[in-house]
Amino acid sequence: MAHLLSLFKFCPKCGSPRFVENDFKSKKCESCGFIYYFNVSASTAVFLTDKYNRLVVAKRAKEPAKGTLDLPGGFVDPYETVEEAVKREIKEETGLKIDRIQYLFSLPNTYLYSGFEVHTADLFFQCRLDEISNLQAADDVEELFLLEQENIQPELFGLDSIRKAIGMWLQKQ
């Protein structure tokens, strides 16, 4: 298996090509001594339901897993709390404003993006709104719709962690 940072050939600090494996998740520059650690990215996903317990489901508009089902959510931006990211991503992808969220669990995930394997810690949340209307698919979402629990098919969700989380969520309902 290739090193996590095998695509990184030059030191990001000084530009030296003497950027070598340090351990399984880091590379060290033999010229300036800089060590770069490959850490996972934080990502959010939300089980957004209405008063009838129907789930808001997104259809992915972009790779990875374009055209498959997903939960609304996305990456946490720099200088942003996870809670702020949840609210921002829901607003960006659905047009909905949410206030209260409840943390459920996390799962590791990897996916190929632009030829690079991105490792994430996917943090799952629950949010229930009395009324969900005027869903507006935007950002990296092609379509949004509400699904009754009995119509949810985990195998149609394209990302491994989302598929697993859907199964876990359904078992607890």
Q: Would you name the residues annotated as active-site residues?
A: 143
Q: Rounded to an integer, what distance in angstroms lies between the CA atom of residue 58 and that of residue 20?
A: 41
64 phi, psi to nearest 5 deg: -80, 155
Contacts of 105 (CB under 8 A, 6+ apart): 124, 165, 168
Angle at 86 between CA 80 and CA 92, to 5 degrees: 100
Q: Is 163 helix (H, G, I), strand (E, B) or coil?
A: helix
Bridge partner residues of 73 (DSSP): 45
Q: How many CA atoms lie within 13 A of 74 on its CB side?
A: 21
